[in-house]
Amino acid sequence: MDKPCLVLVTSSLGKSIGVKMWSSIIEGLNSNMVKLEGVVLPEEVDNLSYCNQRIIIVATGGTEQGIIKLAERSGSLVLIAHRYYNSLPATLEAISLISSRNSIVSVELANDESMITSIVTKTLRVYSSVQRLRKARFGLIGGISDWLVYSRVEPDYLESKLGAKLIYIPLEELIEEYRHVNLENDLLLKIVKSARSIYVNNESVRGALQIYKAIETIIEKYSLDGLSIKCFDLIKYTGVTACLALSLLNTKGFPASCEGDIPLLISMAMGTWISNKPVFMGNIAFIDEDNIYITHCTAPLIGPYILNTHFESGLSVGVRVDYPVGEKATLYRVDPGLNKLRVISGVIVESDYTGKWCRTQIKVKTRDPRVLIKKPMGNHYALIIGDYTSELATMGKLLGLEVEEV
């Protein structure tokens, strides 16, 4: 796929403003990620070629015709309006005409040039993540858990819809690799010493880390960009959980989901790649007033952690991670039809720990949490620390998804 294009459009009266603005903006950009088209006047747009993905910086008023012409020469558009120089009035006038004709992904507002640079950088990261997803190879180890009656995607449909490939890998292959792992004591000691508390013995941790090393072998063998595993079957045949293994994979930025949930794996990959942060996958355990409780026995090790048993089985290792209270958080997921992306912003708040839920427990305060019940989209949701609603919405639209922001 060609690089996204970046152009600044300005009126002839405001050309000096536009030139100065452009110089300031591109100074902080990684120019290897983008095709720089420079500063153009509305009457000069005809000299530009078609671009599949274009970012337009609207420097001044009097640029409406230029914006419309640029839209005609673009696939998807992200427009950035400046706080001053009548930039937003021109943007609003133009997009009111072209929004029905063209794929306007988003309109961003910037206070100054440094903020524009930040928005462009963020947008380029989203474009890069879209390309990465379309070329991705995802592994499905052992199949899909029986109770996921809704969260299922067929490989052919996934490839036709998003371009990503789904590779089935028998659970027996992972178990065979697990039995041949010769675990280094250094890794065991590191994980044990770094834990805040441990309620399992070293042999349980050793077994969980052997699963981790076996999965790493599978990842390399199949050149995977992400994976999901039918983890309860793994417990059935080995007595060992994949919880710690998935924690470590997600900690290092490799998307890995539980229970064979492919829609959640797609969601996790989106969030991981646009944010460069680990993503948590959890059950919606409960909702009260304006809070969502999301829990699981695996979580990226982004804070103090405790090694306990797996909640449902009482076996092997489950992971409890303390998520930072007061931080913004983004909850989101893609539906199995790969048609819709729901994004919910909130704040992590303090919650009393209970032994009646999975080990990692996060309480997120948000608006209208009952949308999860009123318009259900499955049990599992992904969570990133920070507000990534804008990036996720842009990526969703570029992938052709309907975006619902709560």
Angle at 59 between CA 53 and CA 87, to 5 degrees: 100
Percent share of the chain, pLDDT over 90: 93
| Domain co-membership, 218 together with 311 | yes
| Mean per-residue pLDDT, 336-351 | 97
- For residue 21, the domain's CATH number is 3.40.50
Q: What is the pLDDT of residue 184?
A: 87
| Domain co-membership, 203 together with 191 | yes
| Domain co-membership, 110 together with 244 | no
| Domain co-membership, 241 together with 366 | yes
DSSP 3-state of 131: helix
Q: What is the pLDDT of residue 30?
A: 81
Whole-number average pLDDT of the chain: 95
| Domain co-membership, 223 together with 344 | yes
Percent share of the chain, pLDDT over 70: 99
Q: What is the pLDDT of residue 99?
A: 73
Q: Which of 134, 161, 176 is the last residue of a domain?
A: 134
Q: Which domain does 386 fall in, by range?
A: 137-405
Under 8 Å between Cβ of 278 and 253? yes
| Mean per-residue pLDDT, 71-83 | 93
Under 8 Å between Cβ of 332 and 271? yes
Q: Which of 118, 134, 150 is the last residue of a domain?
A: 134
Extract the tokens encoding 113: 């040039």
Extract the tokens encoding 370: 């009952």
- For residue 213, the domain's CATH number is 3.40.275.10
Under 8 Å between Cβ of 42 and 66? yes
| Domain co-membership, 178 together with 229 | yes
Report how many domains make up the chain: 2
| Domain co-membership, 142 together with 108 | no
Q: How far separated are the first and last CA of the chain, in Å rounded?
A: 32
100 pLDDT above the threshold of 70: no
| Mean per-residue pLDDT, 152-157 | 96
The mean-pLDDT minimum among 81-90, 100-109, 149-158 falls in 100-109
Q: pLDDT (tens digit, 9 = 90+) per residue, 225-283?
A: 999 999 999 999 999 999 999 999 999 999 999 999 999 999 999 999 999 999 999 99
| Mean per-residue pLDDT, 172-199 | 95
**Which residues in 379-392 are b (16+ Cβ under 10 Å) and which e?**
bbbbbbbebbbbbb
Q: Which of 134, 156, 180 is the last residue of a domain?
A: 134
| Domain co-membership, 130 together with 164 | no
Q: What is the pLDDT of residue 101?
A: 65
| Domain co-membership, 375 together with 239 | yes
| Domain co-membership, 169 together with 211 | yes
pLDDT-based confidence at 2, cuts 50/70/90? confident
For the chain, the three-class secondary structure string (H helix, E strand, C coil) is CCCCEEEEECCCCCHHHHHHHHHHHHCCCCHHHCEEEEEECHHHHHHCCCEEEEEEEECCCCCHHHHHHHHHCEEEEEEEEECCCCHHHHHHHHHHHHCCCCEEEEEEEECCHHHHHHHHHHHHHHHHHHHHHHCCEEEEECCCCCCCCCCCCCHHHHHHHHCCEEEEECHHHHHHHHHCCCCCHHHHHHHHHHCCEECCCHHHHHHHHHHHHHHHHHHHHHCCCEEEECHHHHHHHHCCCCHHHHHHHHHCCCCEEECCCHHHHHHHHHHHHHHCCCCEEEEEEEEECCEEEEEECCCCCCCCEEEECCCCCCCCCEEEECCCCCCEEEEEEECCCCCEEEEEEEEEECCCCCCCCCCEEEEEEECCCCHHHHCCCCCEEEEEECCCHHHHHHHHHHCCCEEEEC
| Mean per-residue pLDDT, 352-363 | 97
| Domain co-membership, 355 together with 311 | yes
| Domain co-membership, 214 together with 108 | no
